[in-house]
Amino acid sequence: MQLENKVALVTGASRGIGRAIALRLAREGAFVWVNYTHNEEAAREVVTQIEAAGGHAQTVKADVSDLAQIETLFAGIDSLDILVNNAGFGDFVEFDKIDAAHFDGMFNLNVRGLFFVTQAALRVMRDGGRIVNISSIASRGFSGSAAVYAATKAAVNAFTSAISKDVGGRGITVNAVSPGPIKTELYDTAFDDEAKKRMASNSVFNRIGETDDVADVVAFLCSDASRWITGREILADGGVV
């Protein structure tokens, strides 16, 4: 197992891509802190599934858009090898309908929260650690009605590159993973069949990505095999054209 004796924190790990990442890292031997904001039952189900497979995990509640809760999040974490900043949300809103509340809410979680979680994590992260930030191909302008979301993910990519220079001396790598459309609960409810077909056709594989497609890339970036990759955005988009 590539991550045996490693300790990982995955934010937003109760469902979707975060859930798949938590399960994948545990399968590689890591102890996983499963962060959630509201859905304790779903987070506990992730832990139960990890433990049933012989792994080890624990839930930890915190809204990472709240600085006070970030402090609470790390109160019980005294060492860390891996941080996966997955918590975030996206919404499709026409540009002329975007208001300050929408703008601030998305930046508070997708950017501000990620920034300060990383800052707190680095205080307890061991040298040679791994930080993986979940971004999106939306940062490259592939989606309409996503101006704020795209801007937050572009900020994540810029942060990834910048912070990698600050922590490289400790042997810590920092990378971003940008998925294309992925089958999640949000995907299932947000798009009609026609939209799903259109998104699938954008991939050279003519399908929508699965959460495991992203989790496998993240697991690689958390392993020693990725030691010479840092400050980079990795596209996990099925060859979107």
Residue 99 lies in a domain: yes
Predicted pLDDT of residue 189: 74
Query: Does 241 reside within a domain?
Result: no
User: Would residue 65 count as lying in a domain?
Assistant: yes
Q: What is the pLDDT of residue 146?
A: 84
Residue 20 region by backbone torsions, left for phi larger than 0, else alpha for psi between -120 and 50, else beta = alpha
Q: What confidence tier does 142 reach under pLDDT thresholds 50, 70, 90?
A: low
The 10 Å CB-count burial string (b at 16+, else e) for 129-151 is bbbbbbbbbbbbebbeebbbbbb
Residue 158 lies in a domain: yes
* Distances, alpha carbon 18 to alpha carbons 33, 34, 105, 147, 228, in Å: 11, 9, 20, 23, 24
Whether residue 1 lies inside any domain: the answer is no
Domain of residue 60, CATH code: 3.40.50.720
Indicate if 149 belongs to the active site. Answer: yes
Query: Would you say residue 2 lies in a domain?
Result: no
Residue at 138 is within a domain: yes
Set 149, 167, 181, 221: catalytic member:
149
Per-residue confidence (pLDDT) for residue 195, from 0 to 100: 84
The pLDDT of residue 23 is 99
pTM given for the model: 0.96
DSSP reduced 3-state for 149: helix
Residue 173: DSSP 8-state: E
- Domain housing 90: 7-236
Computed over every residue of the chain, the mean pLDDT equals 95
User: pLDDT per residue over 10-22, tens digit each?
Assistant: 999 999 999 999 9
Tokens of 152: 């937050």
pLDDT given at position 188: 75
Between residues 240 and 215, the one the model is more confident about? 215
- Residue 16 located in a structural domain: yes
125, pLDDT greater than 90: yes
> What total number of domains does the chain contain?
1
Is the dihedral angle over the CA atoms 11, 125, 2, 135 positive or is it negative? positive
- pLDDT for residue 187: 74
Q: For the segment 27-79, what is each residue's pLDDT rounded down to a tens digit?
A: 999 999 999 999 999 999 999 999 999 999 999 999 999 999 999 999 999 99
Q: How far apart are CA 185 and CA 179, in angstroms?
A: 15
